[in-house]
Amino acid sequence: MIWALICLPANPINAVPEDIEKGFKGSEASAFYEKGNDFLKSGLCELAIGEYNKAAQLAPDYYGVYNKLGYANYYSGSFEEALNYFRRSLILNRGNVDTIIGIANVYMVLEQEPEARHYFEKVVEMDPDNSASYMPLALIYNHKNMFAESKALLKKVLNKYPRYDSAYFLLARDHELLNEIDPAIENYKKVIELAPGYVKAYLGLARCYTLKVKYNTAYNYAKLAQKHRPGMKEVDDTINSLKKILRENKISRALKKAPVKKK
C-alpha cells in the first residue's frame, strides 16, 4: 500500500493543510506531544510513546504524532510498530520527508535494502539538500557495486561533514574496489587521522600496499591493526599471509644472491 502512496504526486515537502497545523498548535494534544518530544530527546522512549498516544487520542488526524510514534518505536527496537506508525503518518501527509527517512531507516535495520533504497532515493528526489539519506544510500550502492554513485554521494556527505570518518572509510573502499589504489590509500589514511582506532582502515591500507607490492609497509599497517584489536581473526590472517610473502621474498632474494657453483 505504502509503495503506491509514495508514487502518487506528493504535497509540497512537509506541507499539510494550514487549518490542521493551526488547530493542533496550542491544543491540549500539542501539550502531550511536546512532553513526548522532551522524553524522546532524553532517550525515554516508553514515556514518550505514552504521551504521543495521549496526543493521538485527542488529535487522530495529525500526521506529526504518528511520525513521532514511529521514531519512538524505532529507537526502542520495535521496528514493525515503527513501520506501521510511519505508514499512518505518510497517509496523512505524503510529502513529509522526515517520515520517509524513518521508513527507509526501518527497512535498513531489517536488512531489506531494495525497499530502503527506494525510500532513500525518494528523499533525494524530493529534497536534494537533505543529507540524512546520503550515507545509507551510499552504503546500499556500495553493496550493489554501484561505486561511482556511492562516491558521488559520499563526496556530498564530506562537503557537509568533513570529519566524518565512516564516510572516508566507505569512500576509500569504493576506490579500492575500483582498483583506484592511490586515492584509496589517501582516504584510508584520513580515516586513521580522524579515528586512530579504526581497525578496518589499517587492514584496507595493508591490502592496498600489498597490491602496490610494498609488503613491508603492508605488514606494518597490519601490525598496527593488531595493536588496536589483538586476537581479531581477520587481522591475524592478514599478518600470517604477509609473513609468508615476506619469508618467500627473503628466500628468493637469498637464492638470487647465492653464488652459482661451477661444475
Q: How confident is the model at residue 9 (pLDDT cuts 50, 70, 90)?
A: very low
pTM over cut 0.85: no
Hey, what domains does the chain have and what are their CATH numbers?
26-128 (1.25.40.10)
Residues 192-240: tens digit of each pLDDT: 999 999 999 999 999 999 999 999 999 999 999 999 999 999 999 999 9
* Number of neighbours of residue 82 by Cβ within 10 angstroms: 23
Mean pLDDT of 121-145: 93
DSSP 216-258: HHHHHHHHHHHHHSTT-HHHHHHHHHHHHHHHHHHHHHHHHHS
Mean pLDDT of 18-43: 89
| Three cell numbers, residue 53 | 498516544
Q: Which residue has the higher pLDDT, 139 or 253?
A: 139
Alpha-carbon torsion 30, 32, 33, 35, what sign? positive
